């Protein structure tokens, strides 16, 4: 029997490290990272500020070359920026002179010089999935911060990437919007499965969203623990009040604040 695609390693990091400064007196940003991410798995990454989370994300995106080890996707070494990767940053950086729909379509226009009616239809479907169907013709400054961030997520999804890399995507949002957009993201991800690497400073957010949480040490960033989040899906507001949710967040908190005691 063949192994289903969802159980095979999709993204593999083997002994991955990155040193920005060749001076050996300056520590590497990250070192010795071994990680297998399954296809369509949702992995969150937490760790202290400056531990190399964004460095890790940039290496998976092919935007930064590891100085040690190797990153591969489906067995092929990553050696440059990849087409099958969508990236969402903290700020959505929408173009203020384009409508929401045109912002979402912009990467297609940028890449291929044009987009088709089918692309427009897909953009509208994704906007509807993100609860933005009546905002497609609005300009970005007519939208709240949370809505703008949802547009950024839809824009990253339109190219239908296999891998979605998210670098603290909700950190500029207020707590209520942040929780809501987390559930929106889960809904979109459940309907459009993607392999997700999600960087966050929020322990609760990591546990609520992810299948596994990677805990990194302070610089040089290494993997302290990989926590399996065995909470059933779909996750809802009820998930937060489950005892297991509390146990998992407590364990993560210990790892981050008292790593030697965990």
Q: Which residues contribute to the site for ligand ATP (CB under 6 A)? A: 20, 29, 47, 49-55, 219
Closer to ligand ATP at the Cβ: 49 or 134? 49
CA torsion angle 66 10 249 198 (round to 10) = 60
Place of tokens 């949802």: 150
Closer to ligand ATP at the Cβ: 91 or 138? 91
Minimum separation from the CB atom of position 63 to ligand ATP (A): 11
Report how far residue 200's alpha carbon sits from residue 51's, in angstroms, rounded to the nearest whole number.
Answer: 12
Question: Which parts of the chain are beta strand (E)?
Answer: 9-18, 30-38, 42-46, 68-73, 76-77, 85-88, 163-167, 195-199, 212-216, 223-228
Place of tokens 């805990």: 215
Minimum separation from the CB atom of position 71 to ligand ATP (A): 15
Minimum separation from the CB atom of position 185 to ligand ATP (A): 19
Helices 175-191 and 117-129: crossing angle, nearest 10°? Answer: 130
Closer to ligand ATP at the Cβ: 105 or 256? 256
Closer to ligand ATP at the Cβ: 58 or 102? 58
Burial 56-83 (b: 16+ CB within 10 A, else e): bbbbbbbebebbebebbbeeeebeeebe
Closer to ligand ATP at the Cβ: 56 or 127? 56
Largest CA distance in the chain: 57
Minimum separation from the CB atom of position 29 to ligand ATP (A): 4
Report how far residue 217's alpha carbon sits from residue 129's, in angstroms, rounded to the nearest whole number.
Answer: 36
> Residue 72 has which token pair?
């591969």
Closer to ligand ATP at the Cβ: 29 or 227? 29
Minimum separation from the CB atom of position 30 to ligand ATP (A): 7
Closer to ligand ATP at the Cβ: 54 or 149? 54
Closest CA relative to residue 153, chosen from 128, 185, 180:
185
3-state secondary structure (DSSP) of residue 35: strand
């Amino acid at each position: 029997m063949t192994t289903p695609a969802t159980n095979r390693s999709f993204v593999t990091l083997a002994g991955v490290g990155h040193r920005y400064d060749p001076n050996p007196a300056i520590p590497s940003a990250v070192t010795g990272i071994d990680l297998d991410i399954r296809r369509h798995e949702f992995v969150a990454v937490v760790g202290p500020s400056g531990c190399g989370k964004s460095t890790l994300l940039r290496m998976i995106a092919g935007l930064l070359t590891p100085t040690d080890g190797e990153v591969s996707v489906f067995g092929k070494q990553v050696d440059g920026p990849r087409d099958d990767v969508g990236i969402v940053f903290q700020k959505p950086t929408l173009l203020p002179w384009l409508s929401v729909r045109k912002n979402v379509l912009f990467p297609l226009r940028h890449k291929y010089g044009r987009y088709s009616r089918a692309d427009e239809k897909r953009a509208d479907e994704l906007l509807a999935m993100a609860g933005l169907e009546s905002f497609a013709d609005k300009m970005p400054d007519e939208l709240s911060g949370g809505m703008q961030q949802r547009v950024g997520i839809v824009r990253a999804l339109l190219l239908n990437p296999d891998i979605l890399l998210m670098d603290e995507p909700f950190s500029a949002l207020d707590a209520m919007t942040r929780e809501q957009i987390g559930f929106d993201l889960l809904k979109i991800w459940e309907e459009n499965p993607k392999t997700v690497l999600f960087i966050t400073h929020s322990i609760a957010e990591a546990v609520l969203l992810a299948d596994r949480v990677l805990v990194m040490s302070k610089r040089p960033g290494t993997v302290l623990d990989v926590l399996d989040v065995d909470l059933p899906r779909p996750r809802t507001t009820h998930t937060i009040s489950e005892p297991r949710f509390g146990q998992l967040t407590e364990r993560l908190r210990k790892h981050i604040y008292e790593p030697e005691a965990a």
